Amino acid sequence: MNQHFNFAGGRRLGRSALALTMACTGIVLAGTGCGRTLTITQMDYINTAVQFGRTSGELTGEPLEVNVVCVHPHDLDNDLNSLLDPKQSITSDLWYKHRPRPGDKIEDEGHDRMRLPANQIFLLTDEKQCYGVRKGPWLRGAIVDKRKKVPVRFDFGPNLHDRRSVIYVFPKFIDAKGETLPVPPVKFHPPGDYKEQLFVEIGVDENRDNHGQYIDQKTERKLGRKSE
């Protein structure tokens, strides 16, 4: 499907009202055999860098936005999407700086942000206006959310095994100044090398960079596939 949606203020960018309804309710057409479920395991407290300087017992964390981004080979034909090439080393701060915004259209020439259909971007966010398909609220850590595991179901579409196809998982960790930290995303490349059930872990480890904020890939490749 080539439809794309934008639910900023309820405007329709797809080809039918049905497409808009699907986007706003978080429904994605499966039926292609390319459905995926990403399970996020979150630690008790996450996104704690904004509270840098507090003692460990005072690090209660802040709400965390997460974007799951599906990139197809043809998306990389656009130079504005060059950072999404799996050969590049994109970090979360670059994604959140250059990602599409509410109101953007792929054919627009008035900005230099990335050009992706909204139905290839799946969001955990509380933002009322967003570009993509909202799949749930911000993460707040296992204690506040009262659940450790958070599933995100989506459909990748074709090109699962193409070497230019990739699924990214971008967490929006922020520092005390509100800036997005340059944390590397989890990358499933190519997506067809992995089973339908994908797993990542989000937490805090004071021995790591970026004030200890991390996202780890916890999914094994299919038998016979070599890790990158």
* Tally of domains in the chain: 1
118's enclosing H/E stretch is none
Rounded average pLDDT over 63-88: 97
With respect to residue 7, please indicate whether it lies within any of the assigned structural domains. Answer: no
Q: Give the pLDDT band of residue 19 (cuts 50, 70, 90).
A: very low
With respect to residue 6, please indicate whether it lies within any of the assigned structural domains. Answer: no
5: pLDDT strictly greater than 50: no
With respect to residue 222, please indicate whether it lies within any of the assigned structural domains. Answer: no
pLDDT of residue 195: 92
Residue 199 domain boundaries = 17-217
With respect to residue 84, please indicate whether it lies within any of the assigned structural domains. Answer: yes
Q: Give the pLDDT band of residue 34 (cuts 50, 70, 90).
A: confident
Mean pLDDT across the chain, nearest whole number?
85
151: pLDDT strictly greater than 90: yes
With respect to residue 228, please indicate whether it lies within any of the assigned structural domains. Answer: no
Q: Where are the beta strands (DSSP E) in the chain?
A: 35-42, 66-71, 121-124, 133-136, 149-155, 166-171, 186-188, 197-204, 213-217
With respect to residue 11, please indicate whether it lies within any of the assigned structural domains. Answer: no
With respect to residue 87, please indicate whether it lies within any of the assigned structural domains. Answer: yes
Q: Give the pLDDT band of residue 28 (cuts 50, 70, 90).
A: very low
Beta bridge partners of 70: 167
- pLDDT tens by residue, 96-142: 999 999 999 988 888 999 999 999 999 999 999 999 999 999 999 99
Rounded average pLDDT over 67-77: 98
With respect to residue 51, please indicate whether it lies within any of the assigned structural domains. Answer: yes
Rounded average pLDDT over 165-190: 97
